[in-house]
Chain A
Amino acid sequence: MKFAIQVNEGPYQHQASDTAFQFAKAAIENGHEIMRVFFYHDGVNNASSFTLPPQDDRHVVNNWASLNIKDADGEPELVVCVAAALRRGMLDESEASKNSIEGNNLHPAFRISGLGQLIEAGIQSDRLVVFGD
């Protein structure tokens, strides 16, 4: 079955992103497809490549990246809402240069896009599961 997941909370503050990750992992292990994970609101913080937890703690960002969720062309399907990302200082190379900001922090396993991607995921998947707090 084709799943889409929405994550509305950032890592380490709420359990939502941990639960969402464990759910996604279990779905894949049981033969299902995760067609997209959409990170909305504070959920965009799950995509920061500057995340450096202590070595004995789980690495939420790398955990998401390890699921290797991509489309048929190899494009990441870990999608970060653009408006939520920009207002929280989450930038990829293109958004940084467009706004004349030095540096960028979007992990390469993720991509920035618009809210239409969430609507599309809701339409194209068999199930959309929301994790928030």
Chain B
Amino acid sequence: MLHTVNKSSFERNSLQSCVNIIDDTSVILFIEDGVINAANNSKSSMIADLAAAGRVFALQGDVEARGISSKLADNIKLVDYAGFVDLVVEHGTAVSWV
């Protein structure tokens, strides 16, 4: 399963809700303001283990638009829109946390 998160953890609890229920094979993709969660900040520990397992992605255009390319947390994988499409193809059901 692919979980997309489009809000910062400093604004909503959607990422925490997602992390609470995510299973062992699913991945997370940060889009829109959700890419704030890909920056190294006081909430990064929430996704550290998932990221270390290679299961956390962020949409590159949204990362660059928010000026956090050089501030990314460890092990975040960047994808473009084609990569976003590939993640949907690869991981079946797409769940949108808004």
Q: Using a CB–CB distance below 8 Å, which chain A residues touch chain B?
A: 1, 3, 8, 15-16, 19, 22-23, 25-27, 29-30, 32, 127-133
Contact = CB atoms under 8 A, between A and B. Distances in A.
B98 A132 contact: yes
A16 B32 contact: yes
Given A15-B32, A127-B88, A133-B6, A26 B94 contact: no
Interface residues of B, number: 19
Q: Chain A's interface: helix, strand, loop or mixed, by majority?
A: mixed
Contacts of B96: 129-132
B64 to A, nearest CB: 14
B89 A26 contact: no
A44 to B, nearest CB: 18
Contacts of B85: 23, 26-27, 30, 32
Contacts of B5: none
Contacts of A27: 85
Contacts, number: 48
A25 B61 CA distance: 15
A110 to B, nearest CB: 22
A30 B31 CA distance: 20
A129 B88 contact: yes
Given A30-B82, A30-B85, A130 B32 contact: no
Contacts of A30: 82, 85-86
